[in-house]
Amino acid sequence: MIKVAMTSVYVDDVAKAHAFYTDVLGFETRTHMDLGGGTLFVTVGAAEGAQQDLQLLLEPGQGPIAEPYRTAVKGAGLPCIVFSVDDVQQEYDRLRALGVAFTQAPTEQGPVITAVLDDTVGNLVQLAQPKG
């Protein structure tokens, strides 16, 4: 069986992304390695032991492919990744209280409720909760 082990999100500042994804969104650090020359290899994942086999790589988003891609996706208003939450409204309220900017408040979209936030490092991120 093939499973997703890691996926990446291009970010414009790995250290800033690490702080946002852990201190604000609540992920835990899985890997934090200094590769030298100012390059960090950082992965985060769900806290409290959830989804131990799945990591999110905070990938440097500079360069001839990553930067135009990241800019185009955000410019089109598209989230680069979707995170599942138990209660979108509760997360929306918690994150807004922490100063997180949202481009979309909780909205029913077919079988899910979604909200979209700005991750402060070049991306839009969608939170999703199944309805019912």
Whether the predicted pLDDT of 38 surpasses 90: no
pLDDT confidence tier of residue 89, bands split at 50, 70 and 90: very high
With contact defined as beta carbons under 8 Å apart, do 105 and 115 qualify? Answer: yes
Whether the predicted pLDDT of 49 surpasses 90: no
Whole-Å CA distances, 46 to 6, 76, 109, 116: 12, 28, 25, 19
Domains of the chain and any CATH numbers = 6-130 (3.10.180.10)
Across residues 37-58, what is the average pLDDT? 92
More confident residue, 61 or 87: 87
pLDDT confidence tier of residue 37, bands split at 50, 70 and 90: confident
CA angle 30, 24, 73 (to 5 degrees): 85
- Single-letter amino acid, residue 93: D
Across residues 72-88, what is the average pLDDT? 97
* Sign of the dihedral through C-alpha 58, 59, 62, 64: negative
